[in-house]
Chains A and B, each alone.
Chain A
């Protein structure tokens, strides 16, 4: 009889119930979309933030020490300490290797610059060698495509980038080129310790930083010029990371201070400190350090994005609860004679409240299921529009949405239930 009454009520009040279901669909779809985006957004936001460059730098431990202790960035004890180029691909073998998106070796040097067709030399200039583009197949079989081009997306380049292994061309920083009136297509000569090499200026880049005073060359060309085959000064790494928390900050100071459980949690989470720790395990003599500004900005933006999504979810839930509350209360007031009659026939308050609640919950369930799938669609639209990729569907969202839906419909039903409790059969049954 109970279910017969429920079913017939739902059918009879289908327009009102559809309004409630529609409200639930809106609320649940928004919550589902926001939560799926929120849970999948970490990597997406991180990928977006990678346009701001590397977030980890690996240097020789002695050079890093000199820098930490004395603030030295060049000179003895810094410029003569090198990492090994052959180690660089080991970055992809660490526990969080999949999170290492891009990396490039850097070799700093100095050479005397002269321009062909001009008398005399310009003087000693700084230069750095790297991979502008690099394609390789790792020992794991994974294909790798990286290079400075993907790490310096903000560079404005006049002319062209150096091709992979293009060793007879260079790119000049904008300031250096302007100061010395060097243009794309000019021929220049670089001399270092008796090694003389001729190059064509293929491009002029504008970094907006100190690199604008330097010459960029392919790594092997610099190694040859500096007579430092197989050596590199540092590695710039761009990695997907998880925002730091107390555990990450504690570990960053000293991983040995962690308990075994804490260590396992930290090691198996993509904190920047954990990734740095793992990089140091594979790069000989290397010390990996986060580029704090970038890493912290990523964490801050990620946290704020997550907070925004949570706020939208909460507000949409509150909105749904209020709308449901109005609709249910209106429905119950309209049915007060019928519900008063049930009381007169011997129904307890809780039995009538249960009847109304089940009606609302069933309607909510119907709306919730539709809303969930609609929300997944919204999440994909957001993923495609904002991040250019699909958002992975998190199963836990189903549980969270179910709990939210339950409490939203329950809270939305409270005013109606209160009205029901106070309803006296005598007030609605003697209308004449």
Chain B
């Protein structure tokens, strides 16, 4: 049986009278690929912020790699996030004045020590070795997102966390990015992705649907997992 990498126990996030998350319970095993879906305002971003150690729950517990991080202070959360989480954003958030390889090296710098060869290898994995010394403005949206994935992977995180990673991509680039996720999943990386796109949501092993801060559906897609990939890879 696979080891639990993440567990949310009765997690709530309350802003005044608004419950962004209400009593969420969720377990994710190491190596899982989970999609989080739901309409706007359903609590997807709040959940990803809490899982990504960028926010803390108002109530309940978050167990990440067997450590309860629910009440950690900001500095501890920064350290945990740096060591265990790889973040991918819808808007890429690359530093505009640094080249692709330098953007990857920034994550190394704040984790341990920058190593250009290693950063080049990470770019090679996402098929961007020849674009390593280009500035973000010289890259297409898909290429920028691949740099963002390389940056998220460079420190070998335990969880790859994506917030609408294909939201700003065309179909061609969406396919390339999903294909990268598939390869990473094959290598055993745990992937959690928030998405609006049903096709991207469907390629995951498991899909949860959020509405009004609650999980209204938790769908095991293991049976159709391969098919979905095939559809995307057509």
Which residues of A have CB within 8 Å of B96?
A: 12, 338
Q: Contacting B54 at CB < 8 Å: which of A338, A348, A424?
A: A424
A-B contact count (CB 8 A): 74
Residue A118 at the B interface, CB < 8 A? no
B residues 176-226 in Cβ contact with A at 8 Å: none
B147 within 8 A of A: no
Q: Within the complex, which residue of B74, B87, B114, B164 is in contact with A344, where a contact is CB–CB below 8 Å?
A: B87
With beta carbons under 8 angstroms apart, the residue of B45, B93, B111, B163 that contacts A346 is: B111
Question: Contacts A4-B102, A345-B106 hold; do A430 and B97 have CB atoms under 8 A apart?
Answer: no
A337 to B91, CA, bound (A): 11
Given contacts A1-B106, A429-B89, contact A346 B54 (CB under 8 A): no
Q: Is A431 an interface residue (CB 8 A)?
A: yes
With beta carbons under 8 angstroms apart, the residue of A5, A347, A351 that contacts B98 is A5
Considering the complex, give the chain B residue whose CB is closest to the CB of A343.
Answer: B78
CB <8 Å contact, B49 and A351: no
Interface of A is mostly: helix
Q: Are A12 and B107 in contact (CB under 8 A)?
A: no
Q: Is A426 an interface residue (CB 8 A)?
A: yes
B105 touches A344 (CB 8 A): no
The smallest beta-carbon distance between B46 and chain A, in angstroms, is 9
A344 touches B54 (CB 8 A): yes
Give Cα A276–Cα B215 distance, bound, in whole angstroms.
96
B95 within 8 A of A: yes
How many B residues touch the partner, as a band?
A: 20 to 34
Q: Is B71 part of the binding interface, using a Cβ–Cβ cutoff of 8 Å?
A: no
Interface centre among A341, A347, A431 (most CB of B within 10 A): A341
- A346 contacts B110, C-beta separation under 8 Å: yes
- What residues of chain B lie closer than 8 Å to A337, measured between beta carbons? 93
CB of B146 within 8 Å of the partner chain: no
Residues of chain A in range 325-342 having any CB-CB distance to chain B below 8 Å: 337-338, 341-342
Shortest Cβ distance from A429 into chain B, in angstroms?
Answer: 6
Contact of B79 among A1, A345, A346 (CB under 8 A): A346
Does B45 contact A341, Cβ atoms closer than 8 Å?
Answer: no
> Do A432 and B90 contact each other (CB < 8 Å), given the known contacts A8-B98, A11-B97, A344-B81?
yes
B55 lies within 8 A of chain A by Cβ: yes
Q: List 29 A-B contacts (CB under 8 A).
A: A1-B102, A1-B105, A1-B106, A1-B108, A4-B102, A5-B95, A5-B98, A8-B97, A338-B96, A341-B95, A344-B54, A345-B82, A345-B87, A345-B110, A345-B111, A345-B151, A346-B79, A346-B81, A348-B75, A348-B78, A349-B74, A424-B55, A426-B49, A426-B54, A426-B55, A430-B49, A430-B90, A432-B91, A432-B164
Going nearest first, the 10 A-B pairs with the smallest beta carbon separation are: A346-B82, A1-B109, A346-B110, A12-B97, A1-B114, A8-B97, A347-B110, A341-B93, A426-B54, A426-B49
| Beyond A5-B98, A344-B52, 18 additional pairs, beta carbon < 8 A | A1-B102, A1-B114, A5-B106, A8-B97, A9-B97, A12-B97, A342-B110, A344-B81, A345-B82, A345-B151, A346-B110, A347-B110, A349-B75, A425-B54, A429-B89, A429-B91, A431-B91, A432-B164
